[in-house]
Amino acid sequence: MIKNFPVIIPAIYLTAALLIPLLRSRHERYAHSIALSAVFAAALVSINNIYYVINNGTIHYHFGGWTPPIGIEYVLDPLSAFVVFVINSVVFFILIHAVKVNAIELHSKEIPYYSVVMLMMLGFNGMIMTGDFFNLFVFLEISSLSVYGLMAMGDRGSAFASFRYLLLGTIGASFFLLGLGFLYMVSGSLNMSDLKEIIPLLSNSPVLIIALTLMVTGVGIKMAVFPLHGWLPDAYTLASSSTSALIAAIGTKVSAYVMIRILFFVFGVEYVTEIFPVTLVLGWLGAAGIIYGSILAIAQKEMKSMLAYSSVAQIGYITLGISMANPLGFIGAVLHIINHAFMKGALFLVAANLRIRTGHSDISRLHKVCAKKMPVTMACFTVAAISMIGLPPVAGFFSKWYLVLGAVDNRQWIFMGVILLSSLLNAVYFFRIIENVYIKSSDSDEEMKSCTLAEDEPGFSMIGPLVLFAMTLLLLGLFNVYIVNNIILLMMPPGL
């Protein structure tokens, strides 16, 4: 039974994805309940997995009884168990929220929507747990294809944004496959732990350098590392509200996790920092992404596109943390993956609530009445925004704190400056909204109307998850030491 833990989660999602279209009934709500219970079950299993893995060590599941390197295996170590838990719980919150938004925005398309969401989760969970590179590629494509489908269900030109993402995403996955081909040619293995043994024996081979470059580029496109982020802003802005919350919260994080796997767990710390210093390049790209994303976020007039550009900046933090290749930077990167999943989830849910209640999410058109009418939504927004800026005691402060410590540890003063400067820039674009919402009174009657037309807070299904997100952010901040000491330190890759 215990041996089967890793495979239960993908099995749940696959079953749910098939059940939803099969059990077609007149009440479209049923699709939502199946999806929600599947995510809930997966989250429960993943909590159990974390508990088990921390106490008893890594679980290996061999498919069909074939032992690796010949067979495919699933590996649940502390890192993968924890990331699985994070994405499942974030998606659980967002799906609770989704029922009302989707009933309004995606009228009569809900059955395919939830089915595709289940497939996407199958892909993401598989990507995290698999211990085999080709299997990773297949799951990457499953999740990406589902994301293209979900994005196309938005308003205005979302199909076009989705097509552009399809082009770039497929190029990324193909680069990954090409790099994997080179890696397989020199090593003859696709299993991650097996490759870890083989790569030190080949360290002078130029083929390995090509393989690593191509794989990092491919994953970098999926992760939206700075110069490869072109698909992200349009895709996030134009997708429907719950889709952008889902994808912004977990999509790029899973790719960041894959990046950590490739760099530290397969090629090894020594290879990526000394023999072929890919981390050096990643560090500068991350720093450039932080500044670029923050400045463009300030320039945006619409809340969702502002959040999208801020995502580019936040991915920069994760890249920077990975690139430091020291324990503190690693803790910062992993903490930021977790924190950012919760923060961006919360912020996109706020944008969704605003869109449903006031019909728009333009920053300049927000004013005092909104805060009066929707006090809980705006309070949650403030918590998430403070976390994004990085003020204690909310979660975001601690990941940035570790990142700064990591930069100091490596004597990379420029990176430290970049992190501090970007906190300032974050403050600029978030306080702009907070100021509008709490202080600015509306000057024209028409604006008053747009807010008074709507009832007060949206229903419980839209407020509940938001409050949960905000509480989690506070808890993540308060119990930060406990999480770092008991979970993240166990994830530390060998040799760091």
Which residues are at the interface with other proteins (CB under 8 A)? 134, 137-138, 141, 145, 148-149, 152, 156-157, 159-160, 162-163, 166-167, 170-171, 174, 177-178, 181, 184-185
Beta carbon of residue 301, minimum distance to other proteins (angstroms, whole number): 9
Q: Measured from the CB atom, is 149 or 396 closer to other proteins? A: 149
Q: Indicate the angle between helix axes 78-105 and 327-358, nearest 10 degrees.
A: 10
Beta carbon of residue 106, minimum distance to other proteins (angstroms, whole number): 14
Q: Measured from the CB atom, is 362 or 435 closer to other proteins? A: 362
Amino acid at 435: E
Q: Measured from the CB atom, is 124 or 137 closer to other proteins? A: 137
Beta carbon of residue 123, minimum distance to other proteins (angstroms, whole number): 12
Beta strands in 330-475 (DSSP E): none
Beta carbon of residue 6, minimum distance to other proteins (angstroms, whole number): 21
Beta carbon of residue 182, minimum distance to other proteins (angstroms, whole number): 9
Whether the Cβ atoms of residue 39 and residue 95 lie closer than 8 Å to each other? yes
* Greatest Cα-to-Cα distance within the chain, rounded to the nearest angstrom: 73
Q: Measured from the CB atom, is 76 or 180 closer to other proteins? A: 180
Count of CB atoms within 10 A of residue 111's CB? 18
CA-nearest of 200, 198, 194 to 270 is 200
Distance of CA 490 to the CA centre of its chain: 21
Beta carbon of residue 191, minimum distance to other proteins (angstroms, whole number): 12
Q: CA quadruple 212, 215, 218, 223: dihedral positive or negative? A: negative
Q: Measured from the CB atom, is 69 or 289 closer to other proteins? A: 69
Whether the Cβ atoms of residue 336 and residue 318 lie closer than 8 Å to each other? yes
CA-nearest of 146, 105, 121 to 15 is 121
Whether the Cβ atoms of residue 199 and residue 267 lie closer than 8 Å to each other? yes
Q: Measured from the CB atom, is 144 or 422 closer to other proteins? A: 144
Q: Measured from the CB atom, is 53 or 258 closer to other proteins? A: 258
* Sole residue written with tokens 């309940």: 33
Beta carbon of residue 345, minimum distance to other proteins (angstroms, whole number): 25
Q: For residue 393, say if its preceding peptide bond is cis, omega within 30 degrees of 0.
A: yes
Beta carbon of residue 172, minimum distance to other proteins (angstroms, whole number): 12
Whether the Cβ atoms of residue 232 and residue 161 lie closer than 8 Å to each other? no
Q: Measured from the CB atom, is 77 or 110 closer to other proteins? A: 110
Q: Phi and psi at residue 184, in whole multiples of 5°?
A: -70, -35
Residue 342's alpha-carbon distances to 137, 237, 346, 387, in angstroms, are: 26, 18, 6, 10
Beta carbon of residue 120, minimum distance to other proteins (angstroms, whole number): 13
CA-nearest of 495, 378, 486 to 50 is 486
Residue 325's alpha-carbon distances to 86, 260, 424, in angstroms, are: 23, 10, 25
In DSSP terms, 62 is beta-bridged to 73
Q: Measured from the CB atom, is 49 or 162 closer to other proteins? A: 162
